[in-house]
């Protein structure tokens, strides 16, 4: 019997990387910490969506310097077991796609720094001509949803065929929507709490080493199948058009 066709989607900041690059950028360039804390609080309490949160944070950035930004990016470290996971996926012909509410510039730079070739969907940083200010664009947002910068749900659904089983890996608030539509979910931190509270079947993990071991078992399984609740939610979306 053929191995199950797993299609893997992963968050980036705090998942593939140990820390959130955008947050570390804010720590360096945002001086008005009280206003920044209020923005984050409003996002975590779902009073504002990710798109509005990022735009408000961007407006708080002062004295932006590309060299300092690059230094912050180049200091980022990956999950210690991610490269083992990456090699495992390549060996087993499993595609990996990054779905991120982070920014294209630093994601590409971190991937290049670590000799990783992974397609990704993210928000976009726009630099001014003098590289002293930044703006944002959201090329993968959902026109019917004003909250997400990158619609992880839409990309996951549109990139997965009926015969494929979607795997989503994440850690935070920006992953909450997508896990409702994924067949297999790996979660930690606030995402694991969200899954538990909302009765979404998930596998808790600490590093990508845990995920690699679990996926090995899945690949050897003959009865792996779509998660019924996720399948029904996907069908509802397609029926709504």
Query: Could you give the domains of the chain?
Result: 6-18+78-240 (3.40.50.1000), 22-74 (no CATH)
Strand order in the sheet with 203-204: 134-137, 120-127, 95-103, 6-10, 165-170, 184-187, 203-204
Cα(238)–Cα(185) distance, rounded to whole angstroms?
Answer: 21
- Helix H, strand E, coil C: the string for 28-92 is HHECCHHHHHHHHHHHHCCCCCHHHHHHHHHHHECCCCHHHHHHHHHCCCECCCHHHHHHHHHHC
* pLDDT on residue 104: 98
Cα(168)–Cα(178) distance, rounded to whole angstroms?
Answer: 8
Tokens 């590093």 belong to 207
Tokens 């959201």 belong to 138
Cα(208)–Cα(11) distance, rounded to whole angstroms?
Answer: 12
Q: Coil, strand or helix: which one is 226?
A: coil
Q: Where are the beta strands (DSSP E) in the chain?
A: 6-10, 95-103, 120-127, 134-137, 165-170, 184-187, 203-204
Cα(149)–Cα(135) distance, rounded to whole angstroms?
Answer: 13
- pTM for the model stands at 0.95
* pLDDT on residue 1: 47
Query: How confident is the prediction along the chain (241 residues), in pLDDT tens digits per residue?
Result: 466 689 999 999 999 999 999 999 999 999 999 999 999 999 888 899 889 999 999 999 999 999 999 999 999 999 999 999 999 999 999 999 999 999 999 999 999 999 999 999 999 999 999 999 999 999 999 877 778 999 999 999 999 999 999 999 999 989 999 999 999 999 999 999 999 999 999 999 999 999 999 999 999 887 789 999 999 999 999 888 6
Pairing of strands 6-10, 165-170: parallel
């Amino acid at each position: 019997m053929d191995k199950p066709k797993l299609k893997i989607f992963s968050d980036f900041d705090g998942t593939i990387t140990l820390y959130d690059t955008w947050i570390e950028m804010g720590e360096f360039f945002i001086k008005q910490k009280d206003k920044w804390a209020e923005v984050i609080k409003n996002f975590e309490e779902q009073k504002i969506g990710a798109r509005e949160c990022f735009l408000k944070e961007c407006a708080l950035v002062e004295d932006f310097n590309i060299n300092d930004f690059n230094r912050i990016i180049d200091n980022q470290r990956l999950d210690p077991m991610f490269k083992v996971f990456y090699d495992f996926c390549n060996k087993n012909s499993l595609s990996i796609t990054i779905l991120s509410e982070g920014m294209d510039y630093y994601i590409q730079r971190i991937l290049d720094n670590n000799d990783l070739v992974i397609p990704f969907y993210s928000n976009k940083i726009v630099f001014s001509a003098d590289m002293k200010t930044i703006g944002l664009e959201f090329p993968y947002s959902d026109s019917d949803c004003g909250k997400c910068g990158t619609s992880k749900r839409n990309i996951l659904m549109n990139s997965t065929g009926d015969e494929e089983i979607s795997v989503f890996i994440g850690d935070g608030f920006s992953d909450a929507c997508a896990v409702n539509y994924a067949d297999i979910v790996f979660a930690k931190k606030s995402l694991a709490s969200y899954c538990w509270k909302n009765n979404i079947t998930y596998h808790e993990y600490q590093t990508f080493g845990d995920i690699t071991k679990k996926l090995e078992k899945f690949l050897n399984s003959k009865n792996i199948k779509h998660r019924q609740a996720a399948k029904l939610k996907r069908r509802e979306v397609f029926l709504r058009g």
